[in-house]
Amino acid sequence: MTLPALRLLEASGFTPMLTGKRWAEDLMSGMGWRFDPIEGHVTEDLHRIRYISNHLGPRPLGLLFPNSFSSALLFSIGRVRNAGFPTDGRRFLLDKVVEEPGTMHEVERFFRLAHGAIKAWGGTPAWDSVPEELGMRLLARHEAAARNLMAEHGIPENFALLAPIARGLHHGKEKQWKHFNELCGPLRDMGIEPIVFPSVREEEANHAACPNARILPPTTLGNYAALAKRARIVIANDSGISHVAAAISANQITLLGVTDPARTRPWNSKAVCLGNSTDGWPSLEQVLAALKGSLR
Least trusted range by pLDDT, from 78-87, 90-99, 163-172, 195-204: 163-172
- Residue pLDDT, tens place only, 79-94: 999 999 999 999 999 9
What pLDDT is recorded for position 54?
A: 86
Model pTM above 0.85: yes
Q: What integer is the mean pLDDT of 181-193? A: 97
The overall average pLDDT reported for the chain is 94
**Three state DSSP letters for the chain:** CCHHHHHHHHHCCCCCEEEECCHHHHHHHHHCCEEEECCCCHHHHHHHHHHHHHHCCCCCEEECCCCCHHHHHHHHHCCCEEEECCCCCCHHHCCEECCCCCCCCHHHHHHHHHHHHHHHCCCCCCCCCCCCCCCCCCCHHHHHHHHHHHHHHCCCCCEEEEECCCCCEECCEECCCCCHHHHHHHHHHCCCEEEECCCHHHHHHHHHHCCCCEECCCCCHHHHHHHHHHCCEEEEECCHHHHHHHHCCCCEEEECCCCCHHHHCCCCCCEEEECECCCECCCHHHHHHHHHHHHC
Q: What is the pLDDT of residue 201?
A: 86
pLDDT(234) > 90: yes
pLDDT on residue 170: 80
Residues 99-113 have a mean pLDDT of 96
